[in-house]
A and B are shown apart, each in its own frame.
Chain A
């Protein structure tokens, strides 16, 4: 089973990402954006949430470079300009130059199997 076809709730996110658009889920009642996207607002429990276009801008909250694997990679939490913090990878960068607080921008990366993923790169 693919990581992303587990739920009709978030199908629109993955389809938009494949088209180059990064969506963020926001509550139509309390107006707050959350992560990961849900049909029920995790703050006010409203059933009214909607997709909005994300800016793709954020800052690194924390990161860790996995070294003991064939291809090292940087996992990170990035705090989006819209508010919530999401797990992602930082790509196209020198891992040793990464730092917490660094500005990053969205970089949609296509995996070998064709799946597009929301990753980030230094801004």
Chain B
């Protein structure tokens, strides 16, 4: 069974807030659900499938379906970190194709900024019962140094430079200047990035994504339903997912699980990387983008540094416009999980509803890709390919 042509993204909504001290996490989930339903032109009673990740308060989907008072016949709380929501779109399409639901709601929300919860620097406090905990936590594994390990190895093996990584942030800032909701709206230069404080070698402060409250939601619908709505049609044509880990001690930080999820998605969609007009690619750190673009086949392995340099990711200027909302690097990284906003901006691009300054011309095929968890230890990749109909 393929999910190609079996489902459409009928609704998409990104919460405008980036700081929500006066709202609960459950409330933010419900607010983005309202926003996505309104965008689609559907109502709460149309929803018969619900999808959420580890940010949803409660046991899997249970507390949130209760809070929103949803009557659903299919739920899925796959949690592979920030890429979960990209996988959820594929899972929703699978459920629709199998007849398990007709209209799926996917939500993400969180308030790390208001709650002052850990950013990238403090050692992670994962569950002590997980088997890897004792072999990582005592050594000060944080988020930023997990990515630092990958960036150091990439520089060592391929000669990638700090300036090349910095270009990813520069491109994101070019896009974020047009987004009134973005956390960081100022243009930055390569020099500003490499001269910003070193957090964990070789990652500077401006190589990191923002910390923000907020959320987003998607409505995935059966073709017959989507075609009766008033919104432009954005069709799911391919998806792939894969985890990658330490492989019993055969650690190789030069590539991500996108080497598996990408080809699966391209094969299902029946397209090549060169057919993609716009990419939303997870940008927890600048290095994340470089490694993923290589693994997805947009350039050869090891050539990601030169590929992202000189504005090649800037819309209207480079060959591969990326994260035109400003991405996690400048716009929004709600709940420390960037997968949802990746899909939302891809939908805007395919609908022709991105900001005019960053809208990609004739944007008919877009790809959204995420890396959830930690690139340096274990992560879950999810790739989604969408087509405007």
Contact = CB atoms under 8 A, between A and B. Distances in A.
Task: Decide whether A and B are members of one complex.
Answer: yes
Contact of B248 (A42, A68, A87): A42
B249 A67 contact: no
Contacts of A3: 128, 133-134, 137-138
Given A3-B128, A36-B135, A64-B200, A43 B141 contact: no
A7 B258 CA distance: 33
A41 B142 CA distance: 28
B152 A100 contact: yes
Contact of A87 (B121, B135, B151, B199): B135
Given A67-B201, A68-B199, A35 B145 contact: no
Contacts of B150: 62
Given A3-B133, A87-B141, A89-B140, A64 B148 contact: yes
A43 B246 CA distance: 12
Given A63-B152, A64-B201, A66-B144, A35 B134 contact: no
Interface string B2-34: 000000000000000000000000000000000
A35 B136 CA distance: 12
Nearest to B148: A64
A117 B138 contact: yes
Contact of B249 (A6, A10, A75, A85): A85
A2 B134 CA distance: 8
Interface in A72-97: 73, 75-77, 79, 83-89
B251 A77 contact: yes
Contacts of B145: 64, 66, 75
Nearest to B132: A36
A107 B279 CA distance: 46
A75 B148 CA distance: 9
Interface in A105-123: 111, 115, 117, 119
Interface in A1-50: 1-4, 6-7, 10, 32-36, 38, 42-43
B230 interface: no
Nearest to A119: B139
Given A1-B128, A75-B139, A117-B138, A64 B152 contact: yes
Interface in B250-299: 250-251, 253
Nearest to B245: A42
Contacts of B200: 64-68, 75
Contacts of B151: 64
Contacts of B131: 6-7, 36, 38
Nearest to A66: B200
B249 A84 contact: yes
A100 B251 CA distance: 14
A4 B149 CA distance: 24
Contacts of B128: 1-3, 6
A79 B253 CA distance: 13
Nearest to A4: B134
A67 B199 contact: yes
B139 A117 contact: yes
B197 interface: yes
21 contacts: A3-B128, A6-B133, A6-B134, A33-B249, A36-B132, A42-B249, A43-B248, A61-B251, A62-B149, A62-B153, A63-B152, A64-B145, A64-B203, A65-B201, A66-B145, A66-B148, A67-B198, A68-B199, A75-B145, A85-B246, A87-B136
Given A6-B131, A42-B248, A62-B152, 18 more contacts: A4-B138, A33-B249, A35-B246, A36-B131, A36-B249, A61-B251, A64-B201, A65-B201, A66-B142, A67-B198, A67-B201, A68-B197, A68-B200, A75-B141, A84-B249, A84-B250, A85-B249, A87-B135
Lowest 4 CB-CB distances: which A-B pairs, in order?
A84-B249, A64-B148, A42-B248, A35-B249
